[in-house]
Amino acid sequence: QKEVEQDPGPLSVPEGAIVSLNCTYSNSAFQYFMWYRQYSRKGPELLMYTYSSGNKEDGRFTAQVDKSSKYISLFIRDSQPSDSATYLCAMSPGNNRKLIWGLGTSLAVNP
Amino acid sequence: GAGVSQSPSNKVTEKGKDVELRCDPISGHTALYWYRQRLGQGLEFLIYFQGNSAPDKSGLPSDRFSAERTGESVSTLTIQRTQQEDSAVYLCASSFNAGGTGNTIYFGEGSWLTVV
């Protein structure tokens, strides 16, 4: 079993839809949780960062962490075609160099 | 520079040849990371440099892989006697420091390596 599981999709939604992206993990030591967005042939860019459990909101994006279930989510409201990308979750017990990554979920938002 | 710069952006090489990939981090960033991303797989940590400390090489997959960094500037990842399974995008990233995961990691656009 991989430490981080993420459904690769692809996920296709109409413009304006609410998108839910998820990762599960097995290592209870993970404390830091991140979501990155990666456009085709580009490097990943940090979208959201959360420490421990709880919710964090930034514009149209909301990150949720449920440590009891070892489950994290990223919600995108009012999705736009420009949100079409691969979304990667990453997590760590506390040190950047030990980030463990999901495979990424490919999202297409159709106008 | 404004962002992490990597070169070459694309490289096609013959099996058995050596390749060098270069990374120029954001100025002032003391931490530098190399990752590998193979098709259909997640990012794999390769090596990490922090200032003048000994690098963390725990992710290097074999002794054919090595990396160097000059002070807090440019880094070079070298792959000797390339194999087809080395085909991947090699991503370099840097951060201000590695004192906590809150320091944002900035990625370059990657060097896309194809071994034929």
CB B111 within 8 A of CB B6: yes
Give percent above pLDDT 90 in chain A.
Answer: 74
**pLDDT (0 to 100) of residue B102:** 56
Binned at pLDDT 50, 70 and 90, residue A27 comes out as: very high
Quick: pLDDT tens for A53-76. 889 999 999 999 999 999 999 999
Question: Is the pLDDT reported for residue A1 higher than 80?
Answer: no
pLDDT 10s digits, B79-99: 999 999 999 999 999 988 765
CA nearest A2 in B: which residue?
Answer: B42
Inter-chain CB pairs, A–B, below 8 Å: 65
* B102 contacts A97? CB cut-off 8 A: no
Q: Six-digit token pair at B99?
A: 């004192």
- What chain B residue is nearest to A42 in terms of C-alpha separation? B109
Write down the pLDDT at residue B65. Answer: 98
Residues A43, A104: contact at Cβ < 8 Å? no
Residue-wise DSSP of A63-94 = EEEETTTTEEEEEESS--GGG-EEEEEEEESS
Question: Between vectors from CA B68 to CA B95 and to CA A36, what angle results, nearest 5°?
Answer: 30
Report CA B93 to chain centroid distance, whole Å: 7
Shortest CB distance from A95 goes to which of B43, B101, B107?
B101
Mutation to test the A interface, candidates B4, B32, B34, B43, most A Cβ within 10 Å: B43
Strands A4-5 and B75-79 turn out to be unpaired
Token representation of residue B98: 């590695």
DSSP per-residue letters across chain B:
--S-EEE-SEEEE-TT--EEEEEEPPTT--EEEEEEE-TTS-EEEEEEEETTSPPB-TT--STTEEEEE-TTS-EEEEE-S--GGG-EEEEEEEES-SSSTTS--EE---EEEEE-
Alpha carbon of B60: minimum distance to chain A alpha carbons (Å): 13
What residue of B is the nearest CA neighbor of A91? B101
- The helix (H) or strand (E) run that includes residue B45 is strand B43-50
pLDDT in tens, chain B (116 residues): 579 999 999 999 999 999 999 999 999 898 999 999 998 788 899 999 988 888 999 999 999 999 999 888 899 999 999 999 999 999 999 988 765 555 688 999 999 999 99
So what's the pLDDT on residue B39? 85
Is the confidence at residue A97, as pLDDT, over 90?
A: no
The whole-number pLDDT of residue B25 equals 95
Q: Determine the residue of chain A that is closest to B50 in CA distance.
A: A97
Q: What is the pLDDT of residue B57?
A: 93
Query: Could you say which residues from 32 to 71 on chain A have a Cβ atom under 8 Å away from some Cβ of chain B?
Result: 32, 34, 41-46, 49, 51
Closest partner residue to B95 among A8, A88, A96, by Cβ?
Answer: A96
